Amino acid sequence: MNKMTVRDVTFAGKRVLVRVDFNVPIENNVITDDTRIRAAIPTLQYILAQQPQALILLSHLGRPKAKGDADTSLAPVAPALAALIGQPVAFAEDCVGPIAEAAVAALPAGGILLLENTRYYKGEEKNDPELAAQMARHGDLFVNDAFGTAHRAHASNVGISQHLTAVSGLLMEKEIDYLATTIEQPQTPFIAILGGAKVSDKIKVIEALLGKVDKLLIGGGMANTFFAAHGYPMGDSLVEAEAIATAKSLIEKGSGKIVLPVDATIASAFAESADKKTITVSDGVPAGWRILDIGPETMRQFGDILHGAKTVIWNGPMGVFELPSFAAGTFAVARLLAEETVRGATTVIGGGDSAAAAEQSGLADQMTHISTGGGASLEMLEGKELPGVVAIKDK
């Protein structure tokens, strides 16, 4: 990575402004998944070890309806971070203006402050120059460790870099190394696994990967559109009719690289309690039924293809894994990747649902890397330049 990182600057005695990604799920003021908070800890500890004057943290959370929206306040994150990092974390009820500035001024030497949701200001997502300038006044150096927002040009990740020297945090560096370097220089065999609901969301990813992978395994709802392109009856399954022609084109471009499920678990309704059975995909889906997972023969075939792989990228579940009756295929893929990691493969899990599935399977710690960025990881797989990464100072 040809970008400056926290290793290239000195933090002693400085006010360090860090853009973290604390966009975590919160229910009744309780954080239900602290993965993104834990992912930021190594960077924060690295900075604190150099005895900075202060550590000031910026993040967004959700999509607030208005400033002060209680459901999207970062307040519950401060005590959770304090417990993980082992020292007090102050919280300011604003990210700019008198309240934020007073909170920064009140910090003791080496103190940590979490500022309120940056998206309480409409100028955040518009990369408003004045808002960015106000944020930048809190610090002497800027560390961007929020890979999950790197595909967006916002005031708190791109705008600030116009005012302060911007360097990458350790998490950002790790994400770039695994998602860019691994793909550009993969050890072979190189296998990609793509799932999720819609093929339209991943057309560019498929096109980018076809020239690099040895095999591209496709599952999830997006596989249905490829089945429809083959002319198989799909019953009530999710199919993107407008993407069928594109699916046909991708199959032709794939020249034997694209591997689709051969069987599937179908259900009589989109519900945990629905009747279910396994079918051969080429026989078609009966009327009134829908595909909700890949079948056991597909799991075996995917396992055969993955065996001995040296590099594996996985983005998107194989079925509706949120319903336990239709999670078998997704968890099988997680298990197969864990096995290949033990054999020496580099296994990289894209953000979003596949990351959540890896966590739920209990196998997350057996993968080489699980990305914290959903949209950002997809765009990096497409080969796009991400604004948040571009804004970091070159070495």
Q: How far apart are CA 155 and CA 153, in angstroms?
A: 7
**Ramachandran sector of residue 118 (left: φ over 0; alpha: ψ -120 to 50; beta: rest):** alpha
Residue 75 CA: distances (Å) to CA of 82, 83, 113, 352, 391: 12, 14, 11, 23, 28
Residue 352 annotated to the active site:
yes
- Picking from 341, 335, 332, the residue whose alpha carbon sits closest to that of residue 312 is 341
Among residues 169, 196, 221, 352, which one is catalytic? 352
Among the options 198, 204, 310, 384, which is catalytic? 198
Q: Which residue, chain included where needed, has tokens 């300038």? A: 133
Q: Rounded to an integer, what distance in angstroms lies between the CA atom of residue 134 and that of residue 132?
A: 5
Considering the candidates 3, 15, 19, 36, report the single residue annotated as catalytic.
Answer: 36
Catalytic residue at 303? no
Q: How far apart are CA 241 and CA 230, in angstroms?
A: 13
- 3-state class of 306 per DSSP? helix
Structure tokens at 341: 């990691």
Examine the residue annotation and report whether 36 is marked as an active-site residue of this protein.
yes
Q: How far apart are CA 345 and CA 35, in angstroms?
A: 23
Instruction: Identify residue 127 by its one-letter amino acid code.
Output: N
Distance (Å, rounded) from C-alpha 39 to C-alpha 373? 11
Measured CA angle at 203 (ends 197, 204), to 5 deg: 135
- Residue 235 bears catalytic tag: no
Active-site pick, 375, 383, 384, 393: 375
- Strand ranges inside the chain, DSSP E: 15-19, 26-27, 30-31, 54-58, 89-92, 111-115, 141-144, 166-168, 190-194, 215-218, 258-259, 263-267, 276-280, 290-294, 311-315, 346-349, 369-370
- In 3D space, the residue among 383, 345, 385, 341 whose CA is nearest the CA of residue 363 turns out to be 341
Q: Could you list the active site residues? A: 36, 198, 352, 375
